[in-house]
Amino acid sequence: MFSKDSVIGVIGSGAMGAGIAQVASTAGHIVYVYDNSAKSLEKAQSNLKSSLTKLVEKQKISVELSQSISKNINFVPDLNSFSKCGLVIEAIAENLEVKQKVFSDLEKIVSADCVLATNTSSLSITSIASACTKPERVLGIHFFNPATIMPLVEIIPGIATQQSLIGNVKKLIDGWGKVTVIAKDTPGFIVNRVARPFYSEALRIYEEGIADIPTIDWAMKEFGGFKMGPFELMDLIGHDVNYVVTETVWKQFYFDPRFKPALSQKRLLEAGFLGKKSGKGFYNYAEGTTLLEPDRNTAIGKLVFTRVLAMLINEAVDSLYYKIASKEDLDLAMTKGVNYPKGLLKWADEIGPENILQTMMVLYDLYQEDRYRPSVLLKQMVLQNKGFY
């Protein structure tokens, strides 16, 4: 269905859209990038030039490839330029009504067999597709930021998506040098669902005064081997992104307490303390600021790590139980999408599902909150004395 000659369209020239365009162009495709803001298009063009120059200087790509990538990408102010596209990927703001209008307008321009994809991280693919007369050609192709570096891409069919399309799109994106996983159209898909406890449980531990922010970050790196602690990562992602995804997933799961956002993060967002990008978040990034040292208490550190990891594994197990993805794709998504040191289901087998269940039951007994309910599948695995692999 797709070939090197397939023309790719990208809607949105922000960091994500421009990154996707660069990936497609590097794979040899002619790419059209549309944005309704001339200023944004100009900035994207300038950023691309700068990015390619750096890659040549670091000897990551040749001068010839740099020129080819640049030549392949066309920045256009008119959606009508997409008439020859075989695939269009939308990468604009997370607003359902805006996305639906774009898809509706797009359908009047592209050919009957052009595939329409959204890069949404938290909205329903089926809802976006409902704006189209041919929802069977719509699916999610979710890249991670920065798209040029992060290997993972989640492919998410909607309810109406034509089944043969899934394999064709997977083959295309694999050919772009990406690692693809297939996910069901549920809130957060794989990564943005399964990763929520990494942030929310760390926030809960902090709000309860069990450990402070530097100690929680230290514990997850020291005992879990995570490259960044949850507060460092939230500050890096930005609270305008991280908090909003948490709130969106929570609302879409009918306010399930497992996904409940934290007031301490909401207050930072309200204050405009967005993290690194604004100079202040959970940490202060102003020049000359001395960062607080963690309390390197092994008992506290292990308690923090055990609790956060149990919640992460429980969420991964529940995602498997509800057939959000295969066990292989669930583990692949977390190692390639958010750089976890191990796949969570493999990690569960190492620790022993019975030990994860025990941690969850202790938390559930203590709090009597649905937030800490163990997955049915976790209970079944323990009863049957089975592992996930």
DSSP 113-127: T-EEEE--SSS-HHH
- Catalytic: 142? yes
Q: Following CA atoms 373, 374, 375, 380 in sequence, which dihedral angle do they give, to the nearest 10 degrees?
A: -140
- 154: its two tokens: 């989640």
Catalytic residue selected from 6, 13, 107, 142: 142
3-state secondary structure at position 73: strand
- 286: its two tokens: 């102003």
Sign of CA dihedral 86, 89, 90, 94: positive
User: Cβ distance 198 to 230 under 8 Å?
Assistant: yes
Catalytic residue selected from 154, 201, 232, 315: 154
- 170: its two tokens: 């997977």
Angstrom distance (rounded) from CA 30 to CA 106: 18
User: Cβ distance 22 to 73 under 8 Å?
Assistant: yes
- Catalytic: 192? yes
Catalytic residue selected from 121, 122, 242, 314: 121
Tell me which long-range contacts 51-57 makes (C-beta under 8 A, separation of at least 24).
51/22, 51/148
How many CB atoms neighbour CB 255 within 10 A? 9
Question: Rounded to 5 degrees, what are φ and ψ at 117?
Answer: -130, 150
Find the largest Cα–Cα distance for the chain: 63
3-state secondary structure at position 300: helix
Catalytic residue selected from 124, 192, 200, 242: 192
- Catalytic: 154? yes
Tell me which long-range contacts 347-353 makes (C-beta under 8 A, separation of at least 24).
347/309, 347/313, 348/313, 348/316, 348/317, 348/387, 348/388, 349/387, 349/388, 349/389, 351/309, 351/313, 353/378, 353/381, 353/382, 353/386, 353/387, 353/388
Which positions are catalytic? 121, 142, 154, 192
